Amino acid sequence: MKALALPDEGDRHVLAAAIHCGADAVITFNLRDFPEAELRRYNIEALHPDEFLHHQFGLDQASVITAAQRVRRRLRNPPKTAQEYLAVLEAQQLPKTVAELTPYLSVI
């Protein structure tokens, strides 16, 4: 694993796991610690979670909406309205995801 050159040695296990399982991407808020040049060696890219979720929405809108419903319903301490749930996602740096989900507020 020492051959994996990342700015933060503590992230090497993430890249190693991605390589081992044949992942196409590492989903992380910490993009700068996963340099494109290093990941390209393994045909892996680093994606911000908002970009990943936005892409998933384009692939299977119904599944993303259903997943959002399930996640929100599991929030019990405290429970969240759909609007509160989207506010949490916005605060977690997921504006594209929130924009995609907002039209479905009544079913989330």
| pLDDT, tens digit, 9 for 90 and up, residues 19-41 | 999 999 999 999 999 999 999 99
Region 2-19: mean pLDDT is 90
Evaluate whether 55 touches 74 at the Cβ level (below 8 Å). no
Instruction: Identify the pLDDT of residue 105.
Output: 96
Measured over the CA atoms of residue 11, residue 6, residue 28 and residue 93, the dihedral's sign is: positive
| pLDDT, tens digit, 9 for 90 and up, residues 64-85 | 999 999 999 999 999 999 999 9
Mean model confidence pLDDT for the chain: 95
Does the predicted TM-score (pTM) go above 0.85?
A: yes
Instruction: Identify the pLDDT of residue 44.
Output: 98
The Cα 24–Cα 47 span in angstroms is: 10
Q: Tell me which of 4 and 14 has the higher pLDDT.
A: 14
